[in-house]
């Protein structure tokens, strides 16, 4: 199949919406990462997503909606207070898990009795969902295990010939996925840390817990997706935890003994190393740049033929928790204290 690239003009969106209505696959921009969308109520279309991505069938999908009212037919019930909070946090990088209604296909929920729902922030995404007239199932638009795509070109690399079309809406603002918050239990629980941090969500919810599996190894995660290897570039990844000086020393050690090394560090490391492949990820005091370019940087390192990527690790709090969650998976837990 030939994969079409659309821009965000109305005629293009209408043509892309027709593809969805006919059971096809269209990659869509969102504020977090690009998604691979299909009609979320059409079983056959949903199965195509799993095939195109090589995604295990036991990993459930998020349904994307364009207006908050659309949530009601997809779920059994929602606490009134929670609905009010959602009306403040949506549209945005937050996915909620609720008990599902009968109309949710098993292919969406992977056999669970819950469903994941999100209303994306990017206007063009919501306009597109609205045109499709159905909730859109959309996992990140990468091949399974690869870094999530944050622009149309990265989607094309993974999905050319595997999907009907890509809507090019420019680079994703945020760069890492939404926070997955389970509202199906008494106390809201973060199942996947994302752009909205625990601290941020605590301004809205009385109490928030974090799934143990995110904090500790060896626990069984409640979100099926968390158990898979993920986000991995072809190059080997090592994450170094330590202060500026020990990081610099260790990187210089590695550079003296190995070839084709790529470095991902912060702006205050400029002019420290004599190495071709270095990506600076903004200030270490504001991790939003690191989040934004993390996946893109992995892909760039692969393009440049890097064999080992050395990344400066960050403290596991706030956005740092979400970033380290991705880094640990990308590095297959190759994290070193220095
Ligand atoms: O930012 C995002 O969330 C992006 C954009 C495209 O919206 N989407 C995304 O989807 O990251 P995906 O499929 O790559 O990740 C969805 C995560 C997986 O870890 C999955 O296991 C979890 O949400 N999930 C989905 N339904 C669930 C459910 N009913 N219970 C627990 N976890 C669920
Ligand atoms: Mg994903």
- Residue 328 DSSP class: H
Residue 217 is predicted with a pLDDT of: 77
Q: Is 91 in the pocket of ligand 1 (CB under 6 A)?
A: no
Q: Is 189 in the pocket of ligand 1 (CB under 6 A)?
A: no
Report yes or no: 136 and 40 within 8 Å, Cβ to Cβ: yes
Band the pLDDT of 221: cuts 50, 70, 90. confident
Long-range contacts of 298-301 (CB under 8 A, 24+ apart): 298/147, 298/231, 298/232, 298/233, 298/235, 298/237, 298/330, 299/147, 299/154, 299/157, 299/233, 301/233, 301/235, 301/262, 301/264, 301/277
Find the ligand nearest to 34 CA. 1
- How far from the centroid of its chain's Cα atoms is residue 319's Cα? 14
What ligand 1 atom has the least distance to the C-alpha of 118?
Answer: 7
The mean pLDDT of 19-48, rounded to a whole number, is 98
State which H helix or E strand residue 13 sits in: helix 10-21
What ligand 1 atom has the least distance to the C-alpha of 61?
Answer: 25
Alpha-carbon distance 189 to 207, whole Å?
9
Alpha-carbon distance 112 to 108, whole Å?
9
**Above 80 in pLDDT, residue 12?**
yes
**Which residues crowd ion ligand 2, with CB under 5 Å?**
140
The mean pLDDT of 217-246, rounded to a whole number, is 88
The mean predicted confidence, pLDDT, of the chain is 96
C-alpha separations of 255 from 189, 245, 274, 301, 310 in Å: 42, 15, 9, 16, 10
- Which alpha helices (DSSP H) does 25-117 contain, by range? 43-53, 80-89, 106-109
Report yes or no: 175 and 32 within 8 Å, Cβ to Cβ: yes
Report yes or no: 39 and 134 within 8 Å, Cβ to Cβ: yes
Report yes or no: 255 and 261 within 8 Å, Cβ to Cβ: yes
The tens digit of pLDDT for each residue in 54-109 reads 999 999 999 999 999 999 999 999 999 999 999 999 999 999 999 999 999 999 99
Beta strand 35-39 with 179-182: parallel, antiparallel or unpaired?
unpaired
**Above 90 in pLDDT, residue 216?**
no
What is the distance in A from the centroid of ligand 2 to the CA of 285?
27
Residue 223 is predicted with a pLDDT of: 86
Report yes or no: 104 and 110 within 8 Å, Cβ to Cβ: no
Q: With the C-alpha atoms ordered 228, 233, 239, 244, is the resulting torsion angle positive or negative?
A: negative
Q: Is 321 in the pocket of ligand 1 (CB under 6 A)?
A: no
Q: Is 288 in the pocket of ligand 1 (CB under 6 A)?
A: no
The position carrying tokens 């994941």 is 116
Q: Going by C-beta distance under 8 Å and a sequence separation of 6 or more, which residues neighbour residue 210?
A: 189, 190, 193, 198, 321
What ligand 1 atom has the least distance to the C-alpha of 108?
Answer: 26
Beta strands in 168-242 (DSSP E): 179-182, 189-192, 209-210, 236-241
State which H helix or E strand residue 21 sits in: helix 10-21
Residue 220 is predicted with a pLDDT of: 84
Q: If we measure between CA atoms, which residue out of 173, 159, 180 comes closest to residue 49? A: 159
């Amino acid at each position: 199949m030939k994969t079409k690239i659309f821009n965000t003009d109305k005629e293009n969106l209408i043509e892309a919406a027709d593809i969805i209505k006919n059971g096809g696959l269209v990659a869509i921009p969102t504020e977090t990462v690009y998604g691979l969308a299909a009609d979320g109520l059409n079983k056959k279309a949903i199965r195509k997503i799993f095939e195109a991505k090589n995604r295990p069938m036991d990993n459930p999908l998020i349904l994307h909606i364009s207006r908050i009212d659309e949530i009601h037919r997809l779920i059994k019930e929602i606490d009134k207070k929670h609905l009010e909070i959602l009306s403040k946090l949506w549209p945005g990088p937050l996915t909620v898990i609720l008990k599902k209604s009968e109309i949710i296909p098993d292919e969406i929920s992977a056999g669970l009795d819950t469903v994941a729902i999100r209303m994306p922030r990017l206007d063009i995404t919501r306009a597109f969902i609205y045109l499709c007239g159905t909730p859109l199932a959309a996992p990140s638009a990468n091949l399974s295990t690869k870094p999530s795509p944050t622009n149309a070109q990265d989607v094309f690399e993974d999905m050319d010939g595997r999907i009907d079309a890509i809507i090019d809406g420019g680079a994703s603002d945020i760069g890492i996925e939404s926070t997955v918050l389970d509202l199906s239990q008494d106390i809201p629980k973060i199942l996947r840390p994302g752009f909205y941090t625990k601290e941020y969500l605590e301004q809205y919810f009385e109490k928030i817990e974090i799934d143990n599996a995110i904090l500790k190894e060896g626990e069984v995660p409640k979100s099926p997706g968390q158990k898979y290897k993920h986000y991995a570039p072809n190059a080997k990844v090592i994450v170094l935890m330590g202060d500026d000086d020990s990081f610099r020393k260790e990187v210089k050690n590695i550079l003296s003994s190995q070839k084709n090394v790529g470095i991902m560090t912060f702006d205050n490391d400029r002019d420290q190393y004599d190495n071709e492949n270095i990506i600076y990820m903004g200030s270490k005091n504001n991790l939003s740049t690191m989040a934004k370019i993390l996946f893109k940087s992995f892909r760039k390192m692969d393009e440049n033929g890097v064999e080992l990527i050395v990344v400066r690790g960050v403290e596991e709090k706030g956005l740092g928790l979400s970033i380290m969650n991705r880094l640990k998976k990308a590095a297959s837990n190759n994290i070193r204290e220095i």
